[in-house]
Structure 1
Amino acid sequence: MKKSSLSDWLEYQQGLNSKAIDLNLTRVEEVYSAVNINLPKDNIFLVGGTNGKGTTVALIEDILIQKGLKTGVYTSPHLINYNERVSVNKTHVSDKELVNAFEQIEKFRGNVPLTYFEFGTLAAFYLLAMHECDAWIIEVGLGGRLDATNIIQSDVSIITNIDLDHQEFLGDSIEEIAYEKAGIAKPNRLIIYGDTVVQSIIEQQANLVDAKLISRDKEFSIQKKANQFFWSGVEHTIKGIHIPHHWAQGEINNLATSLAAIESYNSSLLPTTEILNNILKDFFIPGRFELIKSGTNWVLDVAHNPAAAKNFRERLSTLNIKQNNVMIFSMMKDKNLDLFINVFKDIVSEWVVCKMNTERSYTTLELKNRLAGLGIDNIKVMELTEEAFKYVENLEPISDNIIVSGSFELVGPAKQYLNQKRYLQ
């Protein structure tokens, strides 16, 4: 196959391994050892967890940039363009850079059948090394122990929280999932845990490799006093924190965890109250409670498991939301529809279901049947995502909010559609 463009390369990578997800470090370690990737001598953060990874990555990135460090970030998945996955000082790498990185990985791959994610991870590491970034902030793809990102020796490993998701790969219980997430703990390095559930399992895994564990509500906490928050770490406190209006407890916990990671690793990198509040004032991540005003308010969120749905619902309450809302909804087949739907039943007056452009998506019939099975009768079926977006725009009377949630594969096309309609600046 001729590979000249970025899209050519991405199509090629999808055909190298018969499995889209194949958790195993053997392949990626073999190729990694052959490629000359120079890691920074310090400042490597590896961020895992069920939800809040993207927020935690972005907070650490903003804080380190304010401290004058050149940051390299790798996240997944992307919303619209693959380039979103790799950025240097908040600027996405170019198509040309990605193609060059893919060519380098291919040169050393031999006959190793890397998965799409493994190929992309190695290319991202190659690019961050080429840019000579002072700090790497890497988001785990799936799980932790056997995730391709876990091949690097991080200085700080972070587990944001643990809840049910991806059970077919990680196990059916919180305990099994915790074991997989805790697999990113590194010998004699730091591991930060931003949750309070199954702490004993995280402790066991940390002790096995002699990692130093820093846990929420033990070594660090964040609390509200009057209209401000204050964060307490092992040795430092930050008072007078102005939490963004639309944040919920999940984002607050992610902030506390990010600060704990920085304090525990290098407290000189902690921000002052003024710097932190400046960061929070303008803090934004595409596709996470993204508000777009276009006559009707659009609210986009990539929540795709019950815990994320509850946090999104908490954030929606900051809009003084009532019942006249339309929800465009679709999910992947491995997700729990009932638990997700029940979170929003009380505020959605009409459900618009559509099939996403992936074989892993529930069909519209499956989505409609589950909604009906939960006692919901005002359901509109649209086979294509764009048809769903056009339909809700033309509703009369206009709904209070158009909510789009359930998957990256739904929110991405919604953003693209709204970009084309010039609702986004």
Structure 2
Amino acid sequence: MTYSEAIAYLYAQLPVFHRVGAKALKPGLDNILQLCAYLGNPHEKFRSIHVGGTNGKGSSSHLLAAVLQSAGFKTGLYTSPHLKNFTERIRIDGLPMPEAEVAAFVFQHRAFIEDLKPSFFEVTVGMAFDYFARQNVDMAVIEVGLGGRLDSTNIITPLVSLITNIGWDHSDILGDSLQKIAAEKAGIIKPGVPVVISEYDPETYPVFENRARACGSALLVGAERYAITDLGIDAEGRHFVLEPRLGGEGPLSLELLGTYQLKNVAGVATVLEVLATPNFGLDPVFAAEVKEKLADSVVRTGFAQVVKLTGLKGRWQILQRNPTVICDTGHNEPGIRSVFESLQTVSYRTLHLVIGFVKDKDLSHVLGLFPKDAQYYFCEPDIPRALDAQSLAEECKAYGLVGEVFRDVNQALKTALDRADPGDCILVTGSTYVVAELNQL
């Protein structure tokens, strides 16, 4: 079986969330527990960090992995969805899982997969855990797929859990209030395992406080432990001061340019603090090893070279200059808010917005955030869940957003580039799957 045949088989045989939405979900953890039991419970054979939240969990996962691998730990990283290639989901020290390994896994376990009938995501999680165990990683950073309590990744018992923030997304699945959504995210908190919340929100914090208390778990808030002063961006990245100091004297640099990334830094810094402190219940020998390896230069390198080290794409990524073309996968209300906060730091004459969404996304919380004075190019991702561009254009009219309709994102971007002056800015955002189809990515 070739890699192409293996991926085609998985897409054909298994329900895939990015293609069909909620119908792909398999309620409960029974399938992933059965799959991992069949595989020899690989998730019990490596140390892990669990990362959930509405926005920022992917970036935070990559930041943690970048610092840990810079420290010399053999570091696994599991994230989803992928943008260009399936193997992006499963990395060790920044290198994607070899295509031959993917093909071998599917071929070897095909009969069991057909008998169990798991979801695409469940197979992917099992594949990642199996690969990390066989490769003897020192630590693996595991990003939650959706929610937390019933997410397939939630069978791990991590060293520490990180929850980035809570916002409106997947409310049809997770609940119709922020407290209900927070309760699902809080489901990754395990008994006795410390949990870090990147941001404080008085509306949702009591949910985490109650869950942590019930589990006997230490609860830390990154935004309360670390103060961050933004110094702006230049060709080297975004610069900031972190207090108390982590990474030594002087400003730090971040290869992720969005202003919203600084909120993620506070959570990541707190997780690193927990890992190096035996007071939080970690093995004192291991905590001492982490503390010794997390030298100032290591933290600086991880932050400053996160994209190079881990291959992260699509987060406030500048694709070209003159005109400036930026893409960002801000696909929900808090994500779009953060995108436009970052846009305030960019100088431009005219703003061109290339946008597309999936049809099961509640846009009532989103479209009112878009500026009315931009030139719009409506498009759609090439997936069954896509909201067709004409329907998007009609929805946007009610919010005073007017533009043209295009078949796909590359056609829309080409037209924007043809019309833009060198001093303009073109922003491609909306669905992750729209950004993923950019040829320039």
TM-score when scaled to structure 2?
A: 0.85
List alignment gaps of at least 5 residues for structure 2.
Answer: 232-238, 278-287
> 2:177 aligned with 1:173, yes or no?
yes
Q: How does 1:157-306 map to 2 (within 5 A)?
A: 157-197=161-201, 198-218=204-224, 220-224=225-229, 228-232=240-244, 239-244=249-254, 247-267=257-277, 268=288, 269=290, 271-284=294-307, 285-293=312-320, 295-306=322-333
Which whole-Å CA distance do the structure 2 matches of 1:246 and 1:362 have between them? Answer: 29
What secondary structure, in the 3-state scheme, does the structure 1 residue paired with 2:250 have?
strand
Using the TM superposition, give the Cα deviation of residue 398 of structure 1 relative to its aligned residue in structure 2, in angstroms. Answer: 5.8
List alignment gaps of at least 5 residues for structure 1.
Answer: 420-425
Contact 1:230 1:241 in 2 (8 A): yes
Which whole-Å CA distance do the structure 2 matches of 1:409 and 1:95 have between them? Answer: 22
Using the TM superposition, give the Cα deviation of residue 205 of structure 1 relative to its aligned residue in structure 2, in angstroms. Answer: 1.1
> 2:405 aligned with 1:381, yes or no?
yes
Which whole-Å CA distance do the structure 2 matches of 1:246 and 1:342 have between them? Answer: 26
1:316-359 alpha-carbon deviations (Å, 9 max, x no partner):
2222244x12111111123232433333315x521111121122
**Structure-1 residue corresponding to 2:394:** 369
Which one-letter code corresponds to 2:360 in the other structure? D
> 2:68 aligned with 1:64, yes or no?
yes
Relative to structure 1, the CA distance from residue 14 to residue 110 in structure 2 (aligned partners, 3 Å threshold; closer, same or farther) is closer
Which one of 29, 32, 40 corresponds to residue 28 of structure 1?
Answer: 32
What secondary structure, in the 3-state scheme, does the structure 2 residue paired with 1:418 have?
coil
Contact 1:52 1:251 in 2 (8 A): yes
Relative to structure 1, the CA distance from residue 109 to residue 46 in structure 2 (aligned partners, 3 Å threshold; closer, same or farther) is same
Contact 1:40 1:133 in 2 (8 A): no
Which one-letter code corresponds to 1:337 in the other structure? L
Using the TM superposition, give the Cα deviation of residue 383 of structure 1 relative to its aligned residue in structure 2, in angstroms. Answer: 2.4
> 2:167 aligned with 1:156, yes or no?
no
Using the TM superposition, give the Cα deviation of residue 228 of structure 1 relative to its aligned residue in structure 2, in angstroms. Answer: 4.8
1:359-401 alpha-carbon deviations (Å, 9 max, x no partner):
2121222211122111233x10112333223322322656712
Using the TM superposition, give the Cα deviation of residue 74 of structure 1 relative to its aligned residue in structure 2, in angstroms. Answer: 0.6
Say which is worse superposed, 38-47 or 380-389, in terms of deviation.
38-47
Say which is worse superposed, 173-182 or 184-193, in terms of deviation.
184-193
Which one-letter code corresponds to 2:32 in the other structure? V
1:32-56 alpha-carbon deviations (Å, 9 max, x no partner):
2221143465631010000111111
Using the TM superposition, give the Cα deviation of residue 141 of structure 1 relative to its aligned residue in structure 2, in angstroms. Answer: 0.1
**Structure-1 residue corresponding to 2:378:** 353
Relative to structure 1, the CA distance from residue 355 to residue 399 in structure 2 (aligned partners, 3 Å threshold; closer, same or farther) is farther
> Matched residues, percent identical?
26
Q: How does 1:67-106 map to 2 (within 5 A)?
A: 67-106=71-110
**Structure-1 residue corresponding to 2:282:** none
Which whole-Å CA distance do the structure 2 matches of 1:243 and 1:228 have between them? Answer: 6
**Structure-1 residue corresponding to 2:353:** 327
Which whole-Å CA distance do the structure 2 matches of 1:137 and 1:64 have between them? Answer: 9
Relative to structure 1, the CA distance from residue 148 to residue 15 in structure 2 (aligned partners, 3 Å threshold; closer, same or farther) is closer
Relative to structure 1, the CA distance from residue 319 to residue 232 in structure 2 (aligned partners, 3 Å threshold; closer, same or farther) is same
Using the TM superposition, give the Cα deviation of residue 246 of structure 1 relative to its aligned residue in structure 2, in angstroms. Answer: 6.8
**Structure-1 residue corresponding to 2:431:** 407
Using the TM superposition, give the Cα deviation of residue 280 of structure 1 relative to its aligned residue in structure 2, in angstroms. Answer: 2.8
Kindly report the root-mean-square deviation, in angstroms, between the aligned alpha carbons of the 2 structures: 2.7
What secondary structure, in the 3-state scheme, does the structure 2 residue paired with 1:55 have?
helix
